[in-house]
Chain A
């Protein structure tokens, strides 16, 4: 069955709680942080964000693919500092407003 949406009313939206001057998109896959990495189907908790001590953010799956590759030498793709996950302030930042978009019928 094919369904066509004619209208929807968003009742809530969510955003990752990222450092203030972060980009909107992951520098590795070029998809918005609120979207998924190239391998995931569902955004949100299934495809979290990892924030580095250098404040650069990536989809966790993207940065981990990079860090596991031989070329990375453990460095941040942006600033080439050693990439270490930022701790203290909730590593993979939790959702500020859980919930989603409600589709109208």
Chain B
């Protein structure tokens, strides 16, 4: 894969294949363009400790200048649900400032994004979907990075 992303992703992959923080694991990184990671959320009754959540990272050739696209995946084998959270839509799209154009910084990496999402889940107290979830999931055709989320409730 050409461009800036290849070398940087190769470095990240080498590091990730070594040690990762607890509850975060690499599932696949076949062609460096798309990685899958599994998350476990510790110490939050909303998320059973034996339940894993699958994240899909998609990198453009411009990564890390451009943010990766990061979504939760719904799978049947192995079973992976979309975690309940007021900022996670039932189609897996995550509304998180560091993943959008305003909040991204190229010093973030796969590991730091996983840690942020894991801690966003760990500190969550509401087992609910964002307002307007059904309508959004039905009508949205934009890629996650092109959506302008309204950060209606920054306390969550």
Contacts and interface: CB of A to CB of B under 8 A. Distances in A.
A41 B64 CA distance: 19
B4 interface: yes
B96 to A, nearest CB: 14
A29 B67 CA distance: 14
A80 B65 contact: no
Given A65-B4, A66-B65, A71-B66, A30 B11 contact: yes
Nearest to A68: B65
B106 A77 contact: yes
Interface stretch (B87-95, B97-105, B124-132): B97-105
A38 interface: yes
Nearest to A28: B106
- A contact residues, range: 10 to 19
Contacts of A38: 3-4, 6-8
B105 A80 contact: yes
B127 to A, nearest CB: 32
Contacts of A30: 8, 11-12, 109
A2 interface: no
Interface of B: 3-4, 6-8, 11-12, 62, 64-67, 101-102, 104-107, 109
14 contacts: A27-B107, A28-B64, A28-B106, A29-B4, A30-B8, A31-B7, A37-B4, A38-B7, A38-B8, A66-B106, A69-B66, A71-B65, A71-B67, A71-B101
Q: Give me the 10 closest cross-chain CB pairs, A-B, nearest first.
A: A27-B107, A38-B4, A77-B105, A71-B101, A28-B106, A77-B107, A38-B7, A69-B65, A77-B106, A30-B11
